Amino acid sequence: MLDLTGRNALITGSARGIGRAAALLLAQHGAGIIVNDLKETPEGAQTVAQIEAMGGRAVFIAADVADSASAARLCEEALDRMGHVDILVNNAGIARQNTMANISEEDWDAVIDVNLKGVFNTCKRFVPPMQERGWGRVINLSSIAGRRGSMFGDVHYSSAKAGVIGFTKCLAKICGPQGVTVNAVAPGIVKTQILSEEHEQASQAFIPLGRTASPEEIASVILFFASDMSSYVTGTVLDVNGGSYM
Ligand SMILES: NC(=O)c1ccc[n+]([C@@H]2O[C@H](COP(=O)([O-])OP(=O)(O)OC[C@H]3O[C@@H](n4cnc5c(N)ncnc54)[C@H](O)[C@@H]3O)[C@@H](O)[C@H]2O)c1
């Protein structure tokens, strides 16, 4: 039931981090992968090369999910090169860590635009064809910050990630009747470049499992939501945080 042969998956922001781990895992289970990131970089090329080295299919498409026109081009090119996209993983995200008094309007807009508007921009284009085909999976990356509020005062990031949860539930209601499930994953502290050393250290005392997650431990939950293993699960948020929010 974890077999994704014949499915294609777009994973936004998958040149590195959780997105890359998800791209590799979904490819291992048979999915064709569209690797997306802001620009063509050696990291993006490496993700594609790793999938091809495993015998998988992958293409790289550069696009900024925060920009509506760029997301539209991403959709056109993805459908053109892969034929159909059955699984959409909205993983692209940024964090501009700061406390409220010091968050500039520019940073507020950037964090909301990538983390929340980016989800709208891709879903708007990729979900209708899934509804027409009668099968689809949307997996949105929220965060523990969207569940309980960031411990570090970043109200913009917490708002965006809480917004992703509301978006997920509303879209799940809209497209459930056409066989498209929509779920969110809310990671705690994961060892990637988005995480500062300071935040990682400060979080450890609050994690019952006593350690930071690996990107692969988030990817395995994404695989569950992408597959037929989760066929009756929609509109949910799965907390993957070592017990630090329960
Ligand atoms: N690492 C953590 O502790 C943690 C915790 C909770 C949630 N998350 C979420 O998980 C997701 C993945 O983060 P990560 O930890 O792998 O971070 P990361 O910084 O390693 O990866 C994020 C990727 O998104 C790309 N990206 C940024 N803006 C983009 C845009 N506008 N369009 C396309 N791509 C863009 C980046 O270039 C990068 O490759 C994010 O949504 C993040 O908020 C991470």
Sequential pLDDT tens for the chain (246 residues) = 999 999 999 999 999 999 999 999 999 999 999 999 999 999 999 999 999 999 999 999 999 999 999 999 999 999 999 999 999 999 999 999 999 999 999 999 999 999 999 999 999 999 999 999 999 999 999 999 999 999 999 999 999 999 999 999 999 999 999 999 999 999 999 999 999 999 999 999 999 999 999 999 999 999 999 999 999 999 999 999 999 999
Residue of the CA atom closest to atom 4 of ligand 1: 190
pLDDT at site 150: 94
| pLDDT for the residue 162 | 98
Please, what sign has the CA dihedral across residues 75, 80, 85, 89? negative
Pocket test for ligand 1, best of 192, 195, 197 (most atoms within 8 A of CB): 192
- Given its phi and psi angles, is residue 73 left (phi above 0), alpha (psi -120 to 50 degrees) or beta? alpha
Kindly name the residue from 108, 120, 157, 225 that is annotated as catalytic.
157
Q: Which two tokens stand for residue 246?
A: 């329960």
Domains detected in the chain: 8-240 (3.40.50.720)
pLDDT value of position 40: 96
Tokens 């988005």, residue?
194
Query: CA triplet 18, 52, 221: central angle to 5 degrees?
Result: 30
Q: For residue 44, which atom of ligand 1 is closest to its CA?
A: 39
CB-count burial class (<10 Å; 0-12, 13-18, 19+) for 217: middle
pLDDT of residue 136: 98
Q: Measure the CA–CA gap between 53 and 240, rounded to whole angstroms.
A: 29
Nearest by Cα to 88 from 221, 215, 190, 182: 182
Does 245 qualify as catalytic in the annotation? no
The amino acid at 187 = P
**Can you give the pLDDT at residue 13?**
98
Beta bridge partners of 139: 89, 183
Task: Name the residue at shortest CA distance from atom 23 of ligand 1.
Answer: 13
Q: What local confidence, expressed as pLDDT, does residue 65 receive?
A: 98
- At 144 the pLDDT is 98
